Amino acid sequence: MATVGFIGLGNMGGPMAINLVKGGHTVKAFDLSADAIARIVEAGGQGADSAVSAATDVDFLVSMLPAGKHVDGLYVSGDAPLFDVVRKDTLIIDSSTIDAETAKRVAAAGAERGISFMDAPVSGGVGGAVAGTLAFMTGGTDEQFAKAKPVLECMGKNIFHAGAAGSGQIAKACNNMMLAILMSGTCEVLSMGIKNGMDPAVLSEIMKQSSGNNWALQVYNPVPGVMEGVPSSNNYQGGFQVDLMYKDLGLAMDLSQQSASSVPMGSAARSLFSLHKAKGNGGLDFSSLINLYQDS
Ligand code: NAD
């Protein structure tokens, strides 16, 4: 079993760190919030009094932070950059969802100093983090992937090697842009059906068995009451917040800009989620987008 430093113990990082403890690893955990650290200590982990202390003398270092500026600050440009303190044989796994450019830049800055850094963003939400069933999309070398896999398997079910440094973030942005397009299209179509007198459950079933079938119809129907146990049947509470989808679509737009890729569908989805967020729905599950159509 390994010694793992863990930085960023929020909604996702907290349960992920607890799953590492359950997997038998020694976890040295740090967050800016003392309460978040206390929850890991309660679960059998060790509390660290600083990021430097969590990163010192560990086999793996996992970070789960809000955005690229936090990751860059922690490892490269902050007051006490962790690249100054980690052992050369420590593998750093950053699971934060950040822009691919920052992931590549931080990995390159580490490589210049002989430090191993890979990107490993996740899909599966808080439920997946608690259950240990996340999907990891990793970017790094074959060697890094092979070393990280057993540790990631304590926190996830599907562990993918997307390609070289930054590829995990590219895969995550592509997947979430696809999800946003599918959900927007599903909301639009169901809304049109409802306004034309269709029962949404009947229409959903017809499309599920026809060529309009997709993930939103299968497991995440946006219309309340059509499906049990999904956010739409719980006042759009829980699930994946509009704010997070909006953030991820911003990262997808950055990618399209940098590569001169045409993304008219992704851009339209981003505009829809932006409007929905501006109307005060940022804290609701993203399937609540259907209200934008139904209110119009
Ligand atoms: P969160 O805001 O709940 O947690 C972030 C944590 O990082 C907080 O506890 C904060 O105190 C800590 N933090 C920030 N800066 C720090 C620093 N310098 N040192 C130590 N701790 C620091 O966010 P979350 O929902 O856990 O999301 C984390 C990442 O996972 C984000 O990049 C998000 O986009 C991604 N993600 C979230 C979900 C989701 O459903 N919540 C799903 C997939 C991916």
Domain layout of the chain by residue ranges: 3-164, 170-294
Rg (CA), the chain: 20
Per CATH, the number for 3-164 is 3.40.50.720
- pLDDT at position 294 is 85
- pLDDT at position 296 is 57
CA distance 256 to 262: 7
Which atom of ligand 1 lies nearest, measured to the CA of 126? 40
175 CB-contact burial (10 Å; exposed 0-12 / middle 13-18 / buried 19+): middle
Identify the active-site residue in 147, 172, 247, 277.
172
- How far from chain centre, in Å, is Cα 42? 25
Nearest CA to ligand 1 atom 25: 11
β-sheet bridge partners, residue 30: 7
Neighbours of 7 (CB within 10 A): 29
* Collapsed DSSP state (helix, strand, coil) of residue 233: helix
Is 28 annotated as catalytic? no
What does the chain come to in residues?
296
Angle 24-86-34 (CA atoms, 0-180°, nearest 5)? 60
β-sheet bridge partners, residue 29: 6, 47
Which portions of the chain are predicted below pLDDT 70? 295-296
Nearest CA to ligand 1 atom 42: 125
CA distance 107 to 36: 27
CA distance 55 to 68: 19
Nearest CA to ligand 1 atom 14: 65
Neighbours of 204 (CB within 10 A): 25
Q: How far is the CA of 165 from the centre of ligand 1 (A)?
A: 21
**95, 62 Cβ separation under 8 angstroms:** yes
Q: How far is the CA of 200 from the centre of ligand 1 (A)?
A: 36
Q: How far is the CA of 127 from the centre of ligand 1 (A)?
A: 15
Residue in the structure block whose two tokens are 């939103």: 216
165 CB-contact burial (10 Å; exposed 0-12 / middle 13-18 / buried 19+): buried
Q: How far is the CA of 4 from the centre of ligand 1 (A)?
A: 18
* Collapsed DSSP state (helix, strand, coil) of residue 123: strand
Pocket test for ligand 1, best of 6, 9, 11, 37 (most atoms within 8 A of CB): 11
* DSSP assigned state of 132: T
CA distance 192 to 150: 47
Does the pTM surpass 0.75? The reply is: yes
Angle 134-137-139 (CA atoms, 0-180°, nearest 5)? 145
**80, 51 Cβ separation under 8 angstroms:** yes
- pLDDT at position 295 is 66
- pLDDT at position 70 is 97
* Collapsed DSSP state (helix, strand, coil) of residue 117: strand
**222, 239 Cβ separation under 8 angstroms:** no
Say if strands 3-7 and 116-119 run parallel, antiparallel, or are unpaired.
unpaired
Q: 170-294, which class in CATH?
A: mainly alpha
The binding-site residues of ligand 1, defined as CB within 6 angstroms of any ligand atom, are 7-13, 30-33, 36, 51, 64-66, 70, 74, 96-97, 122, 125-126, 240, 244, 247
- Determine the longest span between alpha carbons in the chain, in angstroms: 65
Domains 3-164 and 170-294 share a fold: no
- How far from chain centre, in Å, is Cα 171? 11
* Collapsed DSSP state (helix, strand, coil) of residue 86: coil
